[in-house]
Amino acid sequence: MSEYEALAHAYDALLADGAHRRRAAYLHRLLQKERRPVDTVLDLGCGTGTVTCLLAALGYRMTGVDLSEEMLTEAACKAEPLPEDRRPLLLHQSMDRLRLIEPVDAAVSTLDALNYLTGLRAMRETLRRVYRWLRPGGPFIFDVNTPYKLRRMDGGLYIDETDESYCVWRTAFSEKTKVCTYGVDLFRLRPDGAWDRTWEEHRERAWDEPELRALLAEAGFTDIRVTGDLRSGAPRPDEDRVIYRCRRPEKDEEQA
């Protein structure tokens, strides 16, 4: 089963709503500090669209992109209560095939979406395409799970549960590929009281800071900064998640 085909329906219940709200508020604060007003924003790997819709409610014109049709279906339902002119545009695309209708003022990506790019070619092309669709001067803000976290998860067994779902994650990390594989067993309660069981596999690559800095610079990004999660200070050695902030320069090098 493909990533998030089954988990999409239980994803929001298993992840605390406050985590999304804190992340959206953090992004909003950063975007409000931009020299140029930010109106249009890309949410890359938007998942079920919680952050996308929270930012839309704050006034941004949002475009959400995700590879999972099931996650986008959840996002579309979540957007229904928003005024029609504030509902995000949702696109079914892989990150390394990003193609928008028009350039955006800013791009964001949250909750380790970029870790799902496990190959160098896919990451390089994704960053190149984000750069292509950003307006000059536009910021790109994203977070990733750190190598420290993914290595620490090797051999782990994790359980998430609600009244209607029970999720078991089994993890293994490969030093050769730098990929952490999650085997996910999901049990969901049916109306008749029985439980349905599904299984899917997720893979996240541990991208270290020198790699990402080099790839961002290669794509053309400048002003690359790395901070702790939802903080302005430098990451700690034991940080589970870090945030990268960079931007497309006002003038491309070849145009300068």
- Per the CB < 8 A criterion, the answer to whether 173 and 154 are in contact is yes
Q: Which of 173, 190, 205 is the last residue before a domain boundary?
A: 205
Give the helix/strand (H/E) hosting 132: helix 120-133
Same domain, 106 and 196: no
Determine the average pLDDT of the residues in 192-214. Answer: 93
Quick: pLDDT tens for 67-113.
Answer: 999 999 999 999 999 999 999 999 999 999 999 999 999 999 999 99
For residue 33, pLDDT over 70 is answered with: yes
| Total domains in the fold of the chain | 2
pLDDT (tens digit, 9 = 90+) per residue, 213-232? 999 999 999 999 999 999 99
Distance CA 181, CA 118 (A): 11
Instruction: Kindly state the DSSP code that residue 244 receives in the 8-state scheme.
Output: E
Percent of the chain with pLDDT over 90: 78
User: Both 40 and 132 in a single domain?
Assistant: yes
Per-residue pLDDT at 95: 98
Q: What pTM was estimated for this model as a whole?
A: 0.90
Look at residue 44 and tell me if it is in a domain.
yes
| Residue 141 backbone dihedrals phi, psi, to 5 degrees | -125, 125
Alpha-carbon Rg for the chain, nearest whole angstrom, is 18
Model pLDDT, residue 162:
81
Nearest-CA neighbor of 15 among 124, 85, 111? 111
51 and 172 in a single domain? The answer is: no
Query: Do 119 and 196 share a domain, yes or no?
Result: no
CA neighbor of 3 nearest in space, from 70, 56, 64, 87: 70
What is the distance, to the nearest Å, from the Cα of residue 205 to the centroid of all Cα atoms in its chain? 13
CA distance 41 to 60: 7
What letter does residue 55 receive in the DSSP assignment?
H
Tokens of 224: 């690359």
Beta bridge mates, 198? 186
CATH number, domain containing residue 42: 3.40.50.150
Examine the domain organization and report whether 84 and 165 are in the same domain. no
pLDDT of res. 243: 98
Give residue 256's pLDDT. Answer: 34
Tokens of 233: 């200070």
Q: Containing H/E element for 129?
A: helix 120-133
Whether residue 256 lies inside any domain: the answer is no
Residues 81 and 194 in one domain: no
Residue 254 is assigned to a structural domain of this protein: no
User: Where do we find the tokens 């029609």?
Assistant: 84
Whether 66 and 127 share a structural domain: yes
Q: Are residues 180 and 106 in the same domain?
A: no
DSSP string of 190-232, one letter each residue? -TTS-EEEEEEEEEEE---HHHHHHHHHHHT-EEEEEEETTSS
| Res 163: pLDDT | 82
Q: Which residues face 165 on adjacent strands?
A: 188
Predicted confidence at residue 15, as pLDDT, reads: 53
- Identify whether residues 199 and 213 lie together within a single domain: no
Asked if 165 contacts 13 with a C-beta cutoff of 8 angstroms, the reply is yes
Same-domain pairing of 139 and 221? yes
- Residue, of 245 and 167, whose pLDDT is higher: 245
For the chain, the residue count is 256
Q: Is residue 3 part of a domain?
A: no
Indicate whether 34 and 130 sit together in one domain: yes
Q: Both tokens of residue 27? A: 């992004």
Mark whether 51 and 75 lie in a shared domain: yes
Q: How confident is the model at residue 185 (pLDDT cuts 50, 70, 90)?
A: confident
Calculate mean pLDDT across residues 40-57: 96
| Rounded Cα distance, 247 and 219, in Å | 11
Tell me which residue range forms the domain holding 112: 8-146+207-247
CATH number of the domain residue 158 falls in: 2.20.25.110
Token couple for 101? 């209708």
What pLDDT is attached to residue 7?
47
Q: Which amino acid is at 218?
A: E
pLDDT of residue 188: 85
Bigger pLDDT: 234 or 190? 234
Distance between alpha carbon 236 and the CA centroid of its chain, in Å? 21
Q: Are 242 and 225 in contact (CB under 8 A)?
A: no
pLDDT number for residue 17: 57
